[in-house]
Structure 1
Amino acid sequence: MKTKIIYLFALISAILMVSCEDYPVDDKGLLITDKATCYMSSFNLLGSDNQSVLVRVPTYSNGDIDTINCTVKAVAKYGTNLTHVKPYCGVTDDITVTPSMGKWIDFSTPHKFTLISGNRKIKKEYTITVTIQE
């Protein structure tokens, strides 16, 4: 019985190793795929209560994200402390974002984030500017 389990485990391991050879991995251990799309579709900024501090969530469809010039313009609610917020963005499949989002940062000045496509051949640097509602 033990021999059958060992053979079964070896067979499953071999199948998994062969199936992973289709796509290599990058230096962070992420799959490199064939996808060449590279754009930011939405952006949000959370305050210390983990709630959105933006008056309106910037998206590609509402024009607050310019995918040609790689800019994002956002307006935070009056009284927001931009020195301690967490950015998040929506991206297409397999894109990496550097520096990573979801960490507390100071957004009182514009920040740049680099998006890299799934095939790792396309890089776009987005500049995100947040102003306070008047």
Structure 2
Amino acid sequence: MTELAVTYRGTVYPWHCDHMGHMNVMWYVGKFDEATWQLMASVGLTPDYLRSEGRGTAAVDQRISYRRELHAGDTVVIRSAFLEARAKVVRFCHRMEHAVTGELCAVTVLTGVHMDTVARKAVPMPDHLLEAARKAVVDLDPWE
């Protein structure tokens, strides 16, 4: 899946692990969130843009499939892509892989909205950001 951009590289630390000895689900979500900021920034949805324009993004749906356990010391890489870009909505995916073996560890697909942070409602993205997101859309089944 060469269409996906690397948006995160990191390590599983002992404090990421629960009483079962594997990385707890909250840390998968946290690492996916870090990857999201990298993906959004790649099309211009940067923290500077969001702050200066009174805009934000909000996840309205997230689905995760856990495929392989991760343990303290494991290194991971997340590859991400936009699946859809509409005026107010983007849908995107992250695929977390074990950095050494390449095994797929988890997949998530999210739907996010571009919003006005004062009115607290979804608003269209500026044309240049929407165009950048549309150009970044890939045609793939993220669950495979």
The TM-score normalised by the length of structure 1 is 0.33
Answer 1 or 2: which has greater strand percent: 2
Larger gyration radius, structure 1 or structure 2: 1
Answer 1 or 2: which has greater helix percent: 2
